[in-house]
Amino acid sequence: MYLKRIEIYGFKSFADRIELDFDRGITAVVGPNGSGKSNIADAIKWVLGEQKIKSLRGSKMEDVIFAGTIARKPLGYAEVTLVLDNSQGVLALEYDEISVTRRLYRSGESEYLINKTPCRLKDIQELFADTGLGKEGYSIIGQGKIDSIVSSNPQDIRHLFDEAAGIVKFKNRKQESERK
Ligand code: ATP
Ligand code: MG
């Protein structure tokens, strides 16, 4: 599984619709300070279901919508789509290519889509559970994250290994059944 394409419209500094195509292997995004490199990482986290606005570097969710500039009016909604290669069937859907979309309007209304079909946030979270890709995954290592991993306590490090091994799902179920 790999990220094939990302489409962004109205998210943070991206007022125009942009499409970035990625290939297998390594891709580097370079540019001057403030040009939007981290906004691309934020867009990926957001579409994977990130709900914590702090980790998207804002103070309220509306901050992810293009706020306008002197020359340009603010936009009414933000939309991000990830297109993932699934030819090896890592994600449990029978498609070789899977798209995931998140949309947020200024009114606060949200929309989530898998392969252009409306779904719930929960469906997106379940699709990525134990693949390492979800918002709790380790697929995005932000600035300072390495430091926090190296200096974290044994329980937190264990959790990271559990997620990588794909057993978090079972641990959660075990805990749930013990509570009953
Ligand atoms: P650095 O090299 O310093 O890390 P960067 O390329 O990662 O820079 P970003 O942090 O991605 O830069 O982009 C910051 C820019 O995005 C700022 O100019 C900021 O004004 C702009 N920005 C953030 N949110 C919005 C928004 N909602 N509307 C318009 N512009 C926004
Ligand atoms: Mg940055």
Condensed to tens digits (0 to 9), the pLDDT of residues 45-56 reads: 999 988 888 889
Do 86 and 109 fall within a single domain?
yes
Q: What is the pTM for the complete model shown?
A: 0.86
- Tell me the average pLDDT across 8-30: 95
Do 43 and 103 fall within a single domain?
yes
Rounded to a whole number of angstroms, the CA Rg of the chain reads 17
Query: Considering the domain boundaries, does residue 111 fall inside one?
Result: yes
Do 11 and 100 fall within a single domain?
yes
d(CA 123, CA 91): 12
DSSP assigned state of 75: P
Q: What is the pLDDT of residue 87?
A: 94
Residue 58 CA: which ligand is closest? 1
Condensed to tens digits (0 to 9), the pLDDT of residues 57-79 reads: 999 999 999 999 999 999 999 99
The total domain count for the chain is 2
Do 41 and 124 fall within a single domain?
yes
Q: Phi and psi at residue 37, in whole multiples of 5°?
A: -60, -50
The minimum-distance atom of ligand 1 relative to the CA of 63 is 27
Residues whose beta carbon lies within 6 Å of some atom of ligand 1: 12-13, 31, 33-39, 63, 65-67
Query: Considering the domain boundaries, does residue 167 fall inside one?
Result: yes
| Numbered residues of the known binding site for ATP | 32-39
Query: Considering the domain boundaries, does residue 159 fall inside one?
Result: yes
Query: Considering the domain boundaries, does residue 6 fall inside one?
Result: yes
Q: Which helix (H) or strand (E) holds 77?
A: strand 77-85
pLDDT at 135 over 70: no
d(CA 37, CA 130): 27
Do 89 and 150 fall within a single domain?
no
What spacing in Å lies between the alpha carbon of 141 and ligand 2's midpoint? 13
Report the 10 Å Cβ neighbour count for 153: 7
What spacing in Å lies between the alpha carbon of 36 and ligand 1's midpoint? 5
DSSP assigned state of 59: S
Domain containing residue 146: 141-180
Choose one of 6, 35, 59, 70 to mutate for the ligand 1 pocket test, by most ligand atoms within 8 angstroms of C-beta: 35
CA angle, 61 as apex, 104 and 72 as ends, to 5°? 70
Query: Considering the domain boundaries, does residue 92 fall inside one?
Result: yes
143 or 7: which leads in pLDDT: 7
Spatial neighbors of 97 by CB under 8 A, at least 6 apart, are: 4, 83, 84, 85, 86, 87
State whether ipTM is beyond 0.90.
yes
Ligand 1 atom 17, closest CA: 34
Give the DSSP letter string of 123-174: HHHHHHTTTT-STTSSS---TTHHHHHHTS-HHHHHHHHHHHHT-HHHHHHH
Query: Considering the domain boundaries, does residue 136 fall inside one?
Result: no
What spacing in Å lies between the alpha carbon of 136 and ligand 1's midpoint? 23
Query: Considering the domain boundaries, does residue 134 fall inside one?
Result: no
Asked if 92 and 127 count as a contact pair (C-beta separation under 8 A), the reply is yes
Q: What is the pLDDT of residue 128?
A: 86
